[in-house]
Chain A
Amino acid sequence: DALLPAPQSISILSTNMKHFLTWSPVIVQGATVRYSVEFQGEYEREHANGSWIPISECSLTTATVCNITQDISATVAYKLRVRAELGATRSPWGTTKGFFNSTMTSLTPPLLRVVADGHHLLVELADMGPSFQFRVLYWKKGQEGRVQQKVMKEVNSVVHLDTMEAGAEYCVKAQTHVEAINRSSSFSPTQCVRAQGDKSMWLV
């Protein structure tokens, strides 16, 4: 086995609660090297004799990335390891340095589209999965001191935020919140739209 080196540059890329293990390829001229990945949670380390659990989707894979999201489902410390395999030859395991916990995921601001539909202020948010809530802030331009908020647990359609005054401009921004790890993203850029109609009409 010593002929096949362990994979190097093993790291975890985690964004918005989606976690991926990546590593550098092991190059053997004229041959297809395959890889197998295993994980170990705090439970396995502390209560199950340090056992490791294979991830079947990433067993004997030729890819150098593995989606570990399904298995890193608890907010505890995990370790991951990967080895190279060529026929019957197996490399030593390459293991992640330190631990990974889903609380370490990076959270990006939500994608949103703000629409003025006549006098109605609407917002559409991109779905990010069941772990995500959305906090939407909206206000009438010039009245930054009177910001209103709406918290949404699910986003499956356009949401009505407010009925706007004719001709007035309204602004909206949003952030995500993940209850399981008790963290929020930064806010999205502010988007402003103008309500239909002319203010002078109201003065008649």
Chain B
Amino acid sequence: SVAEIRAGFTAIKANIQSRDPIRSLSILSHPHSLHKVKSSDRCCITHHLFSFYVDKVFKHCRTEDSFVNRKISSIANSFLSLRRRLGQCHEQNNCVCGEESTEKFKQILANYEGLNVTSAAMKSLGELDILLDWMEKSH
């Protein structure tokens, strides 16, 4: 559940964010905040972002700290189970991708690919509260 992800992230947030040297950039919020996404596009953007984190981010976040690695595993596995639930909406076509969410997600990928992979992954993980806040506010 989102609460489990939030709990896991809170436990390692300071550690992860301290590994992100590039403070001036944002992966999720540049140039526009997630909060600008239309409600009709929310399911699609959420589904895209879950896949983004599962397929691109978590695997590049392994650290030398066993506790951090365990919490990242907990978050990643919770993402998988939530993505599966979201997938059911996708299959029932309740998760249509409009032009705006497609554009928004392209921007996020461009932000991500603009950095070297480890920095981009650590920054994305450090911005997880942005995603969680948006999900809790909009869902």
Q: Do A and B bind each other?
A: yes
Interface residue ranges, A against B (CB under 8 Å): 39, 41-44, 46-48, 53-56, 70-71, 73-76, 78, 179-180
Contact with B4, one of A42, A53, A56, A73 (Cβ below 8 angstroms): A73
Cα A74 to Cα B5 in complex, Å, equals: 9
Q: How far is the CA of A46 from the CA of B51 in the complex (A)?
A: 13
Do residues A42 and B80 form an inter-chain contact, with CB atoms below 8 A?
yes
Contact indicator per residue, chain B 70-95, by CB within 8 Å of chain A (1) or not (0): 10011011111100000000000000
Q: How far is the CB of B129 from chain A (nearest CB, A)?
A: 18
B96 touches A (CB below 8 Å): no
Chain B interfacial residues counted at CB < 8 A: 19
A70 x B70 contact (CB < 8 A)? yes
Verify B74–A71 contact, CB threshold 8 A.
yes
User: Which of B8, B55, B58, B67 sits near A73, CB closer than 8 Å?
Assistant: B8
- Which applies to chain B's interface (DSSP): helix, strand, loop or mixed? helix
Q: Which residues of A contact B58 (CB under 8 A)?
A: 43, 47-48
Please give, as numbers and ranges, the residues of chain B lying within 8 Å of A70 by CB-CB distance.
70, 74
- In chain A, what residue has the closest Cβ to B78? A74
Among candidates A53, A75, A180, residue contacting B73 with C-beta atoms closer than 8 Å: A53
B1: interface (CB < 8 Å): yes
Q: Is the CB of A180 within 8 A of B1?
A: yes
Asked whether, in the complex, the Cβ of A43 is within 8 Å of the Cβ of B80, the reply is: yes
Distance in angstroms between the alpha carbons of A53 and B69 in the assembled complex: 8
- Inter-subunit contact B70/A179 (CB<8 Å): no
Interchain CA distance A44-B59 in the complex, whole Å? 9
Judging by beta carbons under 8 Å apart, are A56 and B67 in contact?
yes
CA distance A41 to B75 in the complex (A): 11
Chain B residues positioned under 8 Å from A47 (CB to CB): 54-55, 58-59, 76
Instruction: Show 13 A/B contacts (Cβ-Cβ < 8 Å), sorted by A.
Output: A46-B80, A47-B54, A48-B59, A53-B73, A56-B66, A73-B74, A74-B4, A74-B77, A74-B80, A74-B81, A75-B81, A76-B77, A76-B81
Chain A to chain B: the 7 pairs with minimum beta-carbon distance, closest first: A74-B77, A41-B77, A43-B76, A74-B78, A73-B74, A56-B66, A43-B77
Cross-interface CB contact of A43 among B8, B67, B73, cutoff 8 Å: B73
